[in-house]
Amino acid sequence: MKFTLDYVRKGLERNKIFFEVIVAIVLTGMGIVVSIEANHIADTQTKIMRQENLPQFELIMEQEENDSLNIKDNDILHVFNRGGRLVDFEFDHVAFLNFTRWRETSSDTLRLPLRGYYNMGGNITGNDVGEVFNIDNDHNGLHEVRIRNAFYDAKIAYPEVETFAKLSYKDMFGDTHEEYFKTKLGISRITRQEWLKVESLYKESRQYYFPGLSVTELVKYASTGDAKQITYH
């Protein structure tokens, strides 16, 4: 084959077009990668910003002293928001009176769903940060003491009240959230599944009015496990 200057020049021109196409493809690909990465970074920054601006709840249980009786008979649950602003705050709760019974080699627990342990509704303060809500149990602590004393004497079970709460709200971006807590016997977070379990048990069972519970009937109930022993109010 005879290589002439014209042949070489045409070959270079063909290669130039080829390399230009390759470079264009590479640059386009790099641009797509950079764009995807930039979108990923922007999404990550948005998620971080949203997370940093979410409400952050702190629940505090205050035990109010009854000076005339010399006991702390009123529990007040305070809900504080230490984070971003919120709107449409809602509070829901369920309460149980549990009886732990001991046998020689085992134990079991009876759970009695309660109405009237906390005041109905509570107090929504209207604040979007700081204290947003509080609720008290209307001095039901005195009745709790009576129940515990009766069971201490009977020595058949150990009674204790257990309460759970669901906090619902919208954040500053308009997204709806729910958070769940165990609010008596120590305040701690629980999962959605744990909340749904106790909520289902509560709603599917008869609820008993706590201030109207007879101590004598509760002792019989703990002995037999038969809720028919308790007068329904």
- Give the model's pLDDT for residue 88: 93
pLDDT tens for the chain, 233 residues long, are 544 545 545 554 555 565 665 655 666 666 666 656 656 555 555 555 566 668 999 999 998 888 887 888 899 999 999 999 999 999 999 999 999 998 777 889 999 999 999 988 799 999 999 999 999 998 999 999 999 999 988 888 999 999 999 999 999 889 999 999 999 878 999 999 999 999 999 999 999 999 999 999 999 999 888 888 888 76
Report the b/e string of 155-179 with b at 16+ CB within 10 A: eebbbbbbbbbbbebbbeeeeeeeb
The structural domains of the chain, with segments of one domain joined by +, span: 1-52, 57-229
- Give the model's pLDDT for residue 5: 45
Separation of alpha carbons 211 and 198, rounded Å: 22
Residues 6 or more apart whose CB falls under 8 angstroms from that of 66 comprise 72, 73, 74, 139, 141, 142
Instruction: Please list the residues that pair with 164 across neighbouring strands.
Output: 94, 182
